[in-house]
Structure 1
Amino acid sequence: MGQTSTATGPPPVAELLAAAVSALGGSEREGQQQMAGAVERSLRTGEHLAVQAGTGTGKSLAYLVPAIRHALESEQAVVVSTATIALQTQLVDRDLPRLTKALQPVLGREPTFAILKGRANYLCKHKIESGAQAAADDPGDEQLFDPFQVSALGRQVTRLHEWAEQTTTGDRDELVPGVTDRAWRQVSVSARECLGASRCPVAEDCFSEHARRAAGSADVVVTNHAMLAIDAIEGRAVLPDHDVVVVDEAHNLVDRVTSVATGELTAAAVSAAARRCGKLVDQALSDALLDAGEGLDTVLAEVVPGRWERLPEGVGRMLTGIRDASWSCRQALGPDREKGGRDDDATARKFALALVEEVHDVAGRLLTAFDREDPATRPDVVWCSETERNSTRTRALHVAPLSVAGLLASRLFGRSTVVLTSATLALGGSFDALARQWGLPASTGDRAITEPVPDDGSGHDPTQHADRDPATNLVWHGLDVGSPFAHGKAGILYVARHLPPPGRDGLSPACLDEIEALVRAAGGRALGLFSSMRAAKQAAEDLRTRWDGTVLCQGDDATGTLVTKFAADVESVLFGTLSLWQGVDVPGESLQLVMIDRIPFPRPDDPLVSARQRAVDARGGNGFLTVSATHAALLLAQGAGRLLRGTGDRGVVALLDSRVATKQYGGFLRGSLPPFWSTQDPAVVRGALERLRGA
């Protein structure tokens, strides 16, 4: 990690933060200073911290400064994990380069940083040089019968090979414009498929290995939640040694970890594993696996998609056959030890092992998922899904953890000091909802840190309230540093109580009338967030017949292009669904009205949601409030957060779902939103929008 700046260690965090802010031309912010102090205390005491920091707080600087100081003092890397590529890019391309240069005069050396992604995000030079056929490497290519699709795939692969001769990083995210997943798979490998640095003939030039070496010597390593999950949850050491993890966009942590821990099994995947074995094993063994895959396809065609309480008749037998046949192939392929063989043979074996092991592991997990009689106590949830592509319906089996709280508690919080931060963590006025999902203990009282606590030299802050779980000895603090926005003066929360509750047949005529009235009052300048693409398109088509302004709708063009057009045209409106709830950053007068058509509850037939609600109910809790309402509150807060993006912004958040005002859970939802001035009077809101437009 290098030497610290003085014999007694780096300067205090407050001094470093002040130097950074001054060098970057910024101004001091109370919330930023408060957060930086709390992060420093957390790293010093080893107690976990959850920080809610609103847009404009400068939270990246607030955690990066104490993180860098800790890395230099401890000579151990700090890992910063994000949920989105956008934030990852912001940290690596903008925030960290400027910050490290600003701190260099104070620290005596320039801190170092690196970005680290999964192997599949980098070009594999060995795969490119080996000349492996695309069809052999991509199990789905045999289904491509459309000549146009085949030629399009070929053009993309050719472009990738040309790019491989030019790129210095091999990072997929640097390829603009991008390519399809199908094309990228022809030039990349998963962690299971990789030969490893000790066996790969081009390991010295491997892009992934270069990234890992850079991360191994960096003070700050930026990664994503999926890599964090693989390192902590799956037990595969993909990150350098570290004792501190900063989780930005922490509201997405559980979903990303759940995704990594979810297995999928299809007949096509089983068949692909059998073909990959090819001539590497006895034909009878690969044929047995191929037959088992075809048998799975047959039995799945007879079942009803949805969550399973038990294995349907015939499915267990097929899964047992797949598990046993894949294990036989795995044994025949032998251990990964043949270092003297040909490179292409080793590559073929590794690809075959990767698929066979995945099939075996998921089949075994599916078979044991029903061992416990009480479904509410089973660790995994199993369901069958159906998708349609090119007029062909495909069934797939999925197995996902009922909860990742225990895994996070033991393998993330139990091994590192963790700082979790986001603009949205306190739901219903409390951190408890997300803390439970993370595996942290519920609060025993007021956990908010409201004032900076001076260091008494003991290494512990005795005046802070903290929560300790006696079973895991986890201690954590919650902190809301607020926002630089004066929400009560800058924004209005309007709940359209007079509208009928949303139905299943699309937006009601009254709701469409309300949308038109609000858009006219605002003169456009509106973002419509809808619970489904069907509703977004219905609203867009209806408004186009009533209003002469520009109506943009997700799906008309690339989302990024639509957002750019919306920001440039002050009097336009943009309607869309989920990605817009969290992905729009449009400060200024182009966005002065955010409309939300209905409470974004998850689908009641969602397998994981329904299973998690049932498990909470079985323990005597309120499954709906704990699972569905928490999910909705998080999205509502994210959606409402689109309104104020700059300190000069003003506007209205309009909730067009009357249940926010009439149902008991409405208080919890409203308590999760920023503290806007609120009203249920449509005339008041229209008048405010008209005055804002005139100003």
Structure 2
Amino acid sequence: MSKLFTLDRFAGAGLRLRSLQIRVAQDVDHCLAEPLPEPEAITSRDGEALSCRRSLCGFIEAGTGVGKTIGYLVPLLEYASQHKKRVGISTYTRFQQRQVAKDLALVQQRIFDGLDLQVAIRLGRQNFVSRERVAFWRERLKGTDLPKAWEDFFAWVDRWDESTDPLDTTFLAWREIYPDMPEFSGLAEEDFALREDEPHAWYEAHAKAAQSADVVITNHATLLIHGALKTGLLGDLDAVVVDEADRLISAAQSLLSRRLRASLVVRDLRRQYPDPREFDFAEARQEADAIQDLLRDLGETLEYRDTLLSDWPARFPEENAALRGHLERLVPLLPSPSARRDFQRVLAGLDGGETVDVVYSPIRHLPAFHIDDLEPERFVGKLFVAFGEDEVFLPRVVLVSATLSDPMTEKLDFVHQTFGLFRRPFLTSRYEPDRFGSMTFVLPDPRVGAPFLVDDEDLSERMWNPEWLAYVENALGIDDHRKLLLTPSFEDIARWMERRGLEVGKTRLHEGILYHQSDVPGAKLVQRIEQDPDVRVVITPSLWEGVNLRLDGKPWMQDVLIARVPIPPYSPLLQERKIAWRLARQAEQARKKRERGEKAVWRTEEELRAELVWESAKKALRRLRQGLGRGIRDERDTVRVWMLDPRVLFPTDALNGLLFVAAGLEDGEDLVQAAEKIPVHPALRRWSQSVPARFRGQLSNADIFLRDGTLSSLVESEGALLCTTC
């Protein structure tokens, strides 16, 4: 492999050869060359003797600037070519999928001098344009004065034939002609997307090609369906690199969990099945509205606290009977197989067969059913193990990401447990460039009130603090820099929109600020940002990771602002269920250890509660680090990061500078006292560990954004005092 990593080859491909990139490649090559683990003899819970086969797993954390994509592509393609084995690459985002495909083509042609492995991209159905739905709307819109773009769109679909490349029937292919779907009131991309129960020759051809291609590029959800559900959807794969591996658990959670608002589900189905011969919308809406009214009425009685659906038969027998009746009438009306399955799970929740909660949104108290999985990591763990006569679906797996390590310890010691693995992996490595980009900081004024008047992350208690809302708004207008404001939820943005008198629920550009709402997907938001010169500030919860906003070869924004630390919100009901589940699991594990004559370790309920808090802190810090990384994607990039959450621990190295700032303020003593407070939540105490190590020294040179709307330099203040004491 070393002959491929030469300065001449990389220069010829327009790439820069990096030393850490070579080390990543060596690690991947090591995982591909090592003999597979031998089967183990184990005993099942029922006492049955079984054979257990496990994947050979490696974990590589490679920070931005390492060059990880090329680093894993070169050994993976060499392995596929030399051993005639099928390999795969899985990503979480479409952006990274496209980037991998682009880099893979470059590596084949320029690094390998014309290697010709067959490559296939495996996409989900929603990426394909439905010819049937296009024909339906074409007929429905006949006689309407439509823009020319519609004629082009219809003509593009008409040109499809048996020789058309399946990927040329996707929305991605259409965007190579036009940046978006043609405009018409009430219609959007999802109105033309392929439905789950609809035949589509090109989609099926693309799926078949992916089962035999030498290299298949897919997404985490498809990989989980292939390996964890044992469907073999991708065919026989010998080795897989899981890029953006930190999002594998999120993908599992999305597969296993649902949040269902009956009226919204029915409304969305009307878009998918607009023909009344396929879907009786009026009757379905009647049942869905009745369900929503019933949940809302009961929610008022319960003060909108979450409830477990299996408790309804005993606690609310009349409401339980009414809900069951509405659900039983709704399910057969739903034309979508997945929608029917989801509401059948809700019905099962009434009988205790599924864990289903009734939950309410924080502000408007809109009710929904929430189907949750308490341990998605166990589901992910099924990717890497097989029992009995079954073969493991992924013999070799290398998991790669910029944020795999424990955010607290910054180590990979127990990373395998995060992914449901009970054996230490074959390899763990962590690489971070010493120099890559430049980052400066603006720290918050700790005197500003916390984001919420009730300062915790309980969804049912959220009340936004007007002082904090105004403080963040003031930061947006401090100068004419382009700014990306990252906030954890659309609800935050809704509060700022209300302060401006804007309609909540629809993405709006107002005075140069693009307020993002859930009606616009992240991919479309990125297009809008890059194409609309009037956008100067973006407020969004959707761009913490997986995107690369660029303009003329530089970051689109000069500033990245963090509205508040993204601590995951929690439901008290869900937290209590997790505690009960872990206590029960602990008791079962203790019983087994006693049977083996081993000593059982027992954690108290209080310790388990603390464990959940630390887990939420780790999630917050990992996401925060991803957000900070949006501003540094190239070694020449420079970004200013604003932390606008006044709850965070003020960095110790910056306290000296703060004293000098305080000396010039009438209420300077209050500023110092507020900065010395120790936050309760670990994510707020340890937020600075999300800053890449090479930039942490800059925290002592930061500015502070005071609550009066002015910026003050801690360094300049300290320097001024030093001069007077010379």
For 1:603, the aligned partner's letter is P
| Aligned counterpart, 2:537 | 574
Which residue of 414, 430, 437 corresponds with 2:411?
Answer: 430
Structure 2: 5+ residue stretches without partners: 35-54, 387-391, 454-463, 502-510, 584-604, 650-677, 705-710, 718-726
Aligned letter for 1:625? V
Q: Quick check: 1:80–1:245 contact (8 Å CA) kept in 2?
A: yes
Matched, 1:407 2:379: yes
Q: Distance in 1 between matches of 2:498 and 2:323?
A: 44
* 2:308 aligned partner: 309
Deviation at 1:207, TM superposition (A): 1.2
The residue aligned with 1:643 is 631
What is the identity, as a one-letter code, of the residue corresponding to 1:533? I
- The corresponding residue for 2:88 is 79
1:504 partner SS: coil
8 Å Cα contact 1:585/1:645 also seen in 2: no
Match of 1:230 in 2: 225
Please tell me the residue identity of whatever aligns with 1:421: V
**1:264-298 per-position Cα deviation (integer Å, ceiling 9, x unaligned):** 4726868979x9999999x9xx9999997676455
Q: Structure 1 534/118 Cα, relative in aligned 2: closer, same or farther at 3 Å?
A: closer
1:66 is displaced (CA, Å) by 1.9
Q: Distance in 2 between matches of 1:614 and 1:496?
A: 39
Distance 2:471 2:342 in 1: 50
CA 1:300/1:53 → structure 2, altered by over 3 Å: closer, same or farther? same
1:102 equivalent in alignment to 2:110: yes
CA distance in 2: counterparts of 1:85 and 1:689, whole angstroms: 42
C-alpha distance after superposition, 1:375-429 (max 9, x if no partner): xxx974533457999xxx9854231322211111013565313222222222221
Deviations 1:60-110 (A, max 9, x none): 111111221232344332221222222222222x212211112443xx842
CA 42–277 in structure 1, closer or farther in 2 if over 3 Å, else same = same
What SS does the aligned partner of 1:440 have? Answer: coil
Q: For residue 679 of structure 1, what is the aligned residue in structure 2?
A: 699
Which of residues 9, 12, 20 in structure 2 aligns to 1:31? 20
Partner Cα distance (1:588, 1:616) in 2:
48
Greater alpha carbon shift after TM alignment, 589-598 vs 225-234: 589-598
Match of 2:120 in 1: 114
- Between the two proteins, what is the percent identity of the paired residues? 21
| Residue 598 (structure 1) aligned with residue 558 (structure 2) | no
1:171 maps to which residue? 170
Measured in 2, the distance between the counterparts of 1:536 and 1:270 equals: 30
Q: What is the DSSP-based 3-state SS (H/G/I as helix, E as strand, rest coil) of the residue aligned with 1:56?
A: coil
Indicate whether 1:266 and 2:262 are aligned.
Answer: yes
Whole-Å separation in 1 of the counterparts to 2:363 and 2:400:
38
Q: What's the offset of the Cα at 1:524?
A: 3.2
- What residue identity is the alignment partner of 1:99? V
Amino acid at match of 1:663: P
Deviations 1:171-204 (A, max 9, x none): 122223434996555554434x145xxxxxxx7x
| Aligned equivalent of 2:679 | 663
- 1:573 and 1:224, CA in 2 relative to 1: closer, same or farther beyond 3 A? same
In structure 2, what is the Cα distance between the partners aligned to 1:639 and 1:610? 30
Change in CA separation of 1:523 and 1:623 when aligned onto 2, cut-off 3 Å: same
Q: Aligned pair in 2 of structure 1 residues 559, 354: CA closer, same or farther (>3 Å)?
A: closer
Q: Quick check: 1:67 aligned with 2:76?
A: yes
In 1, Cα distance between the equivalents of 2:148 and 2:252? Answer: 35
Query: Cα offset for 1:495?
Result: 4.1
* Offset from partner CA, 1:3-24 (integer Å, 9 cap, x none): xxxxxxxxx3x33344752541
Matching residue within 470, 486, 490 for 1:529: 486
Matched position secondary structure for 1:430: coil
Contact 2:348 2:354 in 1 (8 A): no
Question: Residues 366 and 687 from structure 1, CA distance in 2 versus in 1: closer, same or farther, beyond 3 angstroms?
Answer: same
Deviations 1:430-477 (A, max 9, x none): 347865442234xxxxxxxxxxxxxxxxxxxxxxxxx53xxxxxx354
Q: Could you say which residue in structure 1 is the equivalent of 2:242?
A: 247
Query: Is the aligned partner of 1:625 residue 2:613?
Result: yes
Say if 1:612 and 1:60 are closer, same or farther in 2 by CA, change over 3 A: farther
How many residue pairs end up in the alignment?
572
**Letter paired with 1:574:** V
| Residues 324, 80 of structure 1: alpha-carbon distance in 2 compared, 3 angstrom cutoff | same
Question: What is the letter of the counterpart of residue 629 of structure 2?
Answer: G
Letter in 1 for 2:18: R
Distance 1:62 1:293, change over 3 A: same
Q: Is the 8 A contact 1:613 1:626 kept in 2?
A: no
Distance across 1 between alignment mates of 2:496 and 2:287: 44
Residue 341 (structure 2) pairs with residue 361 (structure 1) = yes
Corresponding position of 2:66:
57
Matched residue of 2:566: which SS?
coil
CA apart distance, 1:33: 1.0
- Confirm or deny that 1:479 pairs with 2:485: no
Aligned CA distance change for structure 1 residues 290 and 529 (closer, same or farther; 3 Å): closer
SS in structure 2 of the partner of residue 671 of structure 1: helix
Instruction: Check whether the contact 2:13–2:111 (CA below 8 A) recurs between aligned residues.
Output: no
Shift of 1:54: 1.8
CA, structure 1 residues 362+689, in 2 after alignment: closer, same or farther (shift >3 Å)?
same
Residue pairs, 1:602-613, within 5 angstroms: 602-605=568-571
Task: State how far apart, in whole Å, the 1-side matches of 2:540 and 2:623 are.
Answer: 11
Letter in 2 for 1:190: R
Q: What CA distance in whole angstroms lies between the structure 2 residues aligned with 1:494 and 1:613? A: 39
Q: CA deviation at 1:607?
A: 7.6
Distance 2:636 2:516 in 1: 31
**Correspondent of 2:420 among 427, 439, 446:** 439
Q: For residues 652 and 187 of structure 1, do their structure 2 counterparts lie closer, same or farther at Cα, with a shift above 3 Å needed? A: closer
The answer to whether the 8 A contact 2:62-2:68 is kept is: yes
Which stretch shows the higher mean deviation, 109-118 or 176-185?
176-185
1:236 to 1:300, Cα distance in 2 relative to 1, 3 A? farther
Superposition map of 1:404-553 within 5 A: 404-412=376-384, 415=392, 416=394, 417-426=396-405, 427-428=407-408, 429-431=410-412, 435-441=416-422, 467-468=423-424, 475=425, 477-483=427-433, 485=435, 490-493=438-441, 495-496=443-444, 498-504=446-452, 524=481, 526-531=483-488, 532-534=492-494, 552-553=513-514
- Can you give the 5+ residue segments of structure 1 that lack an aligned partner in the other structure? 1-11, 136-146, 196-202, 330-351, 373-377, 442-466, 469-474, 542-549
Moved more, 588-597 or 45-54: 588-597
Q: For 1:155 and 1:235, how far apart are their aligned partners in 2? A: 47
* Letter in structure 2 aligned against 1:439: G
Counterpart CA distance in 2 for 1:563 and 1:386 is: 29
Residue in 1 that maps onto 2:195: 190
Aligned residues of 1:403 and 1:437 also touching (Cα < 8 A): no
Residue 117 to residue 517, structure 1, CA distance change in 2 (3 Å): closer
1:678 offset after TM fit, Å?
4.5
Aligned partner of residue 641 in structure 1, secondary structure: helix
Does the CA-based 8 Å contact 1:262-1:399 persist in structure 2?
yes
Deviations 1:197-254 (A, max 9, x none): xxxxxx7xx1112212332332221122232233334444432321322222222222
The more displaced of 573-582 and 500-509 is: 500-509
Deviation string 1:515-537 (CA, Å, 9 cap, x unpaired) is: 868986x8736544344325766
- Shift of residue 359 of structure 1? 4.9
Q: TM-score, normalised by structure 2?
A: 0.65
* Mapped contact 2:246–2:401 kept (Cα < 8 A): yes
607 and 114 in structure 1: CA distance in 2 versus 1, 3 angstrom threshold = farther
Task: Give the TM-score of the pair, scaled to structure 1.
Answer: 0.67
